[in-house]
Amino acid sequence: MHPILFRLGPITVHTYGVLLAAAYLVGMAVVSAEARRVGADRERVMDWMFWGIVGAIVGARLLYVAINAGYYLHHPGEVFAVWNGGLVFYGGVAGAAVASLTYLLPRRLPAWQYADLLAPAVALGQGIGRWGCLAAGCCYGKRTDVAWAIHFHDANSLAPTGVGLHPTQIYDSLAGLCIFAILWAFRRRKRFDGEVMLLYLALYSVARSTVELFRGDGERGLLFHGHLSTSQLISAGVVVVAGCLYLYRRRATRADQA
């Protein structure tokens, strides 16, 4: 599509980076509003968000580099070139979790409550950020001749040019927006802290595994002779873990209320 938004002398502004920044800013606004609604300390929440975002970017990039280690061993200068795409969401989840717990636990802040504040914002951020992927051409789909196929023509695009591809970036964006709508409606009816985040993890994992069926980029990591992607394998594990945590949190809440 349009990987480069504009150039200003020696400075190149990438569309991917602008939309990723927009996704983070919108997400922070949503978390801030939710913190106000539930009476959480907004200053603490914003500090936590900052470190969580740093952890998410580092974790997302590290997992992508690890999956494509062979390439980056020969191109070490590109390890930090995140403006070209190359962030794996599940790496971001791990990085954000580590950074968040490092911040929250020593201060004895309610980690599960904070997680619920974050969940809708992450889904909305994905709905916005995936348009950055579309602009850059990363996370592209398999070749197809369906009526809604998209074609990339920009020489700077990371996707194959001149052929019809599944618009997987749009599929992911729509999935994120739908999940956001579900979580936003559900958040006021949750029965225990952590339920919104666990619902998000389950819904996202199912959506991600489904969209992976239409992805055409091998850089995301393929297993078992290309029949399973790294993200699909991780998604299966996330669903299991989210289910176990849901049962644990529900029982703990009932025990506290007894």
pLDDT tens digits for 195-209?
Answer: 999 999 999 999 999
Whether the predicted pLDDT of 24 surpasses 70: yes
Write out pLDDT tens, residues 40-96. Answer: 988 899 899 889 888 988 888 888 888 777 878 877 877 777 656 667 778 888 898
Domain boundaries, the chain: 4-189
Burial-class residue 109 by CB neighbours within 10 Å (0-12, 13-18, 19+): middle
List C-alpha distances in Å: 23 to 73, 125, 128, 164: 31, 4, 5, 27
pLDDT for res 86: 67
pLDDT for res 85: 60
Let me know: does 154 contact 137? Beta carbons within 8 Å: yes
Let me know: does 90 contact 113? Beta carbons within 8 Å: no
